[in-house]
Amino acid sequence: MPLGEAIFTQRAIRRLKPDPISDADLELILAAAARAPSGGNLQPWRFVVVRDPDLKQKLAEYYVEAWWHRRSAQGITRPEHMPKNNSSGQAALHFTTDARNYSRAAVLIVVCNVSRADNVMTACQNLMLAARALGMGSTITRLGEPVDERVHSLLGIPTGVDADYCIPLGYAEGHFGPAQRKPLQELAFLDAYGTPGPWHLQP
């Protein structure tokens, strides 16, 4: 798939088929992730590919707990509290009102970070673009408190290694296609912050 098609049709995909991913495809996706640039070439990422159904279900429950924990801090404790115009929050409810929609993913990839000097997002983006090119959908989800210790224990992740993100990955049931983005004029400037450049395209 051309790079442009992968980039311009990538969107968060949460409706996933349970169909398995071949070892060869999984390896290619992980190798693409591992090619990403990092400061000082530290390559701080480690990936725990969770395929075991019981582990996936536990991890799904932890994710849902962490998600509601963060939302309750914003006063959102039930699905109907999520503002209708928060399209990203509305979409997340597919996972967080039924953990089985999350554990149904063929694999859950927990992305760890062994160095707080850098972050793992370039690798996550390579991973998701490679998945997109192979017809698979994904999105980055956050773990963290209050389930952090249980995630570490479940997967044997050493203390001192962060395990903040999890990417549910599988063949897409939903459609790929453009997601909503701000106009480029609001995001990109020429020679001074706020000065528009000669851009006309919408992202």
- Per CB under 8 A, contacts with its own copies among 137-166 are 139-140, 142, 155-158, 161
Answer yes or no: are the C-beta atoms of 61 and 97 closer than 8 Å: no
Segment lying near its own copies (by CB under 8 A), choices 51-59, 61-69, 76-84, 97-105: 51-59
As measured in angstroms, the least distance from the Cβ of 34 to its own copies is: 4
Answer yes or no: are the C-beta atoms of 110 and 47 closer than 8 Å: yes
Answer yes or no: are the C-beta atoms of 181 and 195 closer than 8 Å: no
Nearer to its own copies, 79 or 197 (CB): 197
Sign, CA dihedral 106-90-155-29, equals positive
> Within its chain, how far is the Cα of 53 from the centroid?
20
Q: Residue 58: CB partners within 8 Å, gap ≥ 6?
A: 154
Task: Say how far apart CA 43 and CA 57 lie, in whole Å.
Answer: 29
Q: Which of 112, 136, 166, 172 binds its own copies (CB under 8 A)?
A: 112
Q: Which of 17, 55, 65, 148 binds its own copies (CB under 8 A)?
A: 55
121 near its own copies, rule: CB under 8 A: yes
93 near its own copies, rule: CB under 8 A: no
125 near its own copies, rule: CB under 8 A: yes
Segment lying near its own copies (by CB under 8 A), choices 61-69, 76-84, 96-104, 126-134: 126-134
Answer yes or no: are the C-beta atoms of 67 and 73 closer than 8 Å: no
For residue 181, which amino acid is it? R
Binders of its own copies among residues 3 to 22 (CB under 8 A) are: 3-4, 6-8, 10-12
47 near its own copies, rule: CB under 8 A: yes
